[in-house]
Amino acid sequence: MKSRETLIRLRKYQADEKRRRVAQIEGMIADFDRMAADLEREIGAEQDRAGIHDPTHFAYPTYAKAAITRRDNIKRSADELKVQLEEARMALAEAFEELKKVELLDERDQMRERASEAAREQTELDRIGAMRASVGARI
C-alpha cells in the first residue's frame, strides 16, 4: 500500500510540474506578444515621425528597421513556443491520465479491502451470534 501512495504522490508531482511548465510557456508567449505589440507601436511612431512607411526606401529610419527585425524575431520565437506549448499540453494530459489510472487502482484496492474487512466483521458477528444461540439453547 505504501508503494501505491508513493506512486500517487509521484504522479501528482509530475502532473504539477507539467502544469507549471504549461503556465510558464503561456506566460512567455504572452510576454512575447506584448513586446511585439509594443515594437509595432514604436515602429508606427517612428515611421510617422520620419514620414516614410516603406522599409525599402533609402531614408527609412534605422531604428524602425531594427525594431522590425526584433519584432519579427520575437514573433518567430513566440511561434516556436506555441509548438512547445502544444507538446507540453499533451504531456500534461498524459500525466493526468497516468495519475487517474493509479488513483483508480488505489480506489479499487481500498474498496476490495473494505469489502474484505466487512466480510471478516460479519463472520465474527455470525460466530458470536451462533455462540449466544448455543448458550441460550443450553439454558
Answer yes or no: is 101 within a domain. yes
Answer yes or no: is 83 within a domain: yes
72 in a domain, yes or no? Answer: yes
Our count of domains for the chain comes to: 1
Within a domain: residue 99? yes
Rounded Cα–Cα distance for residues 52 and 84 (Å): 38
What is the domain extent for residue 38?
2-107
CA dihedral for 107, 111, 117, 120, sign (positive or negative): negative
Is residue 89 in a domain? yes
The answer to the question of residue 137 being in a domain is no
Confidence class for position 1, pLDDT limits 50, 70, 90: low
Domain contains 8: yes
- The model's pTM: 0.73
In a domain, 17, yes or no: yes
Per-residue pLDDT tens over the stretch 27-76: 999 999 999 999 999 999 999 999 999 999 999 999 999 999 999 999 99
pLDDT at 97 > cutoff 80:
yes
